[in-house]
Amino acid sequence: MNRNGGATKVRRQQAILSLLGRERLGSQEEIRTRLRRMGLPATQSTISRDIEELGLARVHDPEGVRYVVPGPGLSSAPATLLRHALQEFALSFVAANRLLLVRTPPGAASALAEAIDTAPVAGVAGTVAGDNTILVVPADGTSPRSVERALRKAMEER
């Protein structure tokens, strides 16, 4: 897969999650229209794959049909997005003093950093992204190696 295409996929999936948090969307066409307005054009088949990968559910309620992010105990969309982003973009991890650096392909650092911040990952206070490097700041009392282990575990979870 094209690395920049992967960054677009992560951004698109993050946008879908954000839209569903703000709006009631009941069809793939509604999602496609909102994404296009955000500058993220996608085909119906692409949106269908995104919905499946994010583990979204289509539910019926008194107001009609809508897509939702499953709640606790069900598939976790942010964790799924994090796993995909780590698998696609994390090239290497380097512990440096009390920080962790994550190397990515050019242009992919911000998408992966946003996925880390959104998930969130235990022991991570926050991230700062450049073009191809993410500075992961461990929370107080957490070592960079612990954060690396948590990220590697998130990358492997199903």
In the chain, CATH 1.10.10.10 sits at 3-68
Tens of pLDDT along the chain (158 residues) come to 444 567 788 889 889 988 988 888 999 999 999 999 999 999 999 999 998 888 787 877 778 888 887 655 444 677 878 888 898 889 999 999 999 999 999 888 888 998 898 887 889 999 999 999 999 999 999 999 999 999 999 988 76
pLDDT of residue 158: 60
Among candidate residues 63, 84, 66, the one with its CA nearest the CA of residue 75: 84
How far apart CA 27 and CA 43 sit, in angstroms, is: 13
Pick the CATH number of 77-156 from 3.40.50.740, 3.30.1360.40, 3.40.50.800, 3.30.70.420: 3.30.1360.40
Q: pTM of this prediction?
A: 0.62
Q: Give ranges for CATH 3.30.1360.40 in the chain.
A: 77-156
Tell me the C-alpha to C-alpha distance, in Å, between residue 124 and each of 35, 36, 128, 153.
30, 33, 11, 14
The whole-angstrom separation of Cα 98 and Cα 92 is: 17
**CATH number for the domain formed by residue range(s) 3-68:** 1.10.10.10
φ, ψ dihedrals at 14, nearest 5°: -65, -40
